[in-house]
Amino acid sequence: MRIASRSSVLILTAILGTATLAFVGAKASATGAFRGPPAAPVIAVVDLDAVLQGLNEKKDREAALQSTLKDLQSRVTALGEEAKNEQAKLEQATAAEKPALAKALREKIIRAEFEKQYSEKLLGEMSGEVIREIYLKIDAATERLAKQNGYQLVLASDEKNPIPERGSTGDILRSIANKRMLFVDPSLEITQEVVTLMNNEYAAKK
């Protein structure tokens, strides 16, 4: 009788242990399936216009573009003066000299016009390249700053973009539709941090 009783106790203990493990496992599974709402992301905003205005690299590269512009304008002006001189010679030339002088004048005028168009196109492309390269640097610097400070989302702020006081209904509606931010808490602003980081890196490279 004692042996049978002891066996029954062992069997009952095993059954209770299995049931307990099953209950704990089911509870853990249910808890894992319901994790609750995710944590709020850490957000920052950047005013791209303000960053561009504050970058020393952009100022230096724009100054270089202005120097190039002056050189190109000087070439166009010189060609214009040459064309005026050819025009003066043509007016005082003899009938035998006029054909050759007229041809030279046409060449000067065509060359001056070509140089003007070339200068405008070249400067437009150079300016576009500068803006593109600097924007890519802003993007990379913002990413580094975000990873360093734990920002999970960085947005380009358009809160300060103005709505025109005058214009057609369509223009005003487009300006309103293009705005994505109506209010941004100043504590989210990291514009100056981006400017400082990029200016320090630029100074170090110089």
Contacts of 201 (CB under 8 A, 6+ apart): 141
Spatial neighbors of 108 by CB under 8 A, at least 6 apart, are: 79, 82, 83, 86
Same domain, 12 and 98: no
Residue 147 lies in a domain: yes
* 161 and 138 Cβ atoms separated by less than 8 Å: no
Residue 206 domain-assigned (yes or no): no
Q: Based on the domain organization, do 182 and 90 belong to the same domain?
A: yes
Q: Are residues 72 and 96 in the same domain?
A: yes
Domain count, the chain: 2
The model's confidence at residue 128, banded by pLDDT at 50, 70 and 90, is very high
Q: Mean pLDDT highest for which of 17-26, 119-128, 189-198?
A: 189-198
21 pLDDT tier (thresholds 50, 70, 90):
very low
Q: Which tens digits make up the pLDDT trace of 91-103?
A: 888 888 888 888 8
- The verdict on 160 and 119 lying in the same domain is yes
pLDDT at res. 10:
43
Q: Has this prediction a pTM greater than 0.75? A: no
Based on the domain organization, do 3 and 74 belong to the same domain?
Answer: no
Domain of 113? 43-198
Give the chain's length: 206
**Are 7 and 82 contained in the same domain?**
no
Task: Report whether 145 contacts 197 (CB < 8 A).
Answer: yes
Instruction: Identify the pLDDT of residue 90.
Output: 82
Does some domain include residue 205? no
Give yes or no: residues 110 and 64 share one domain.
yes
- Is 70 found in the same domain as 19? no
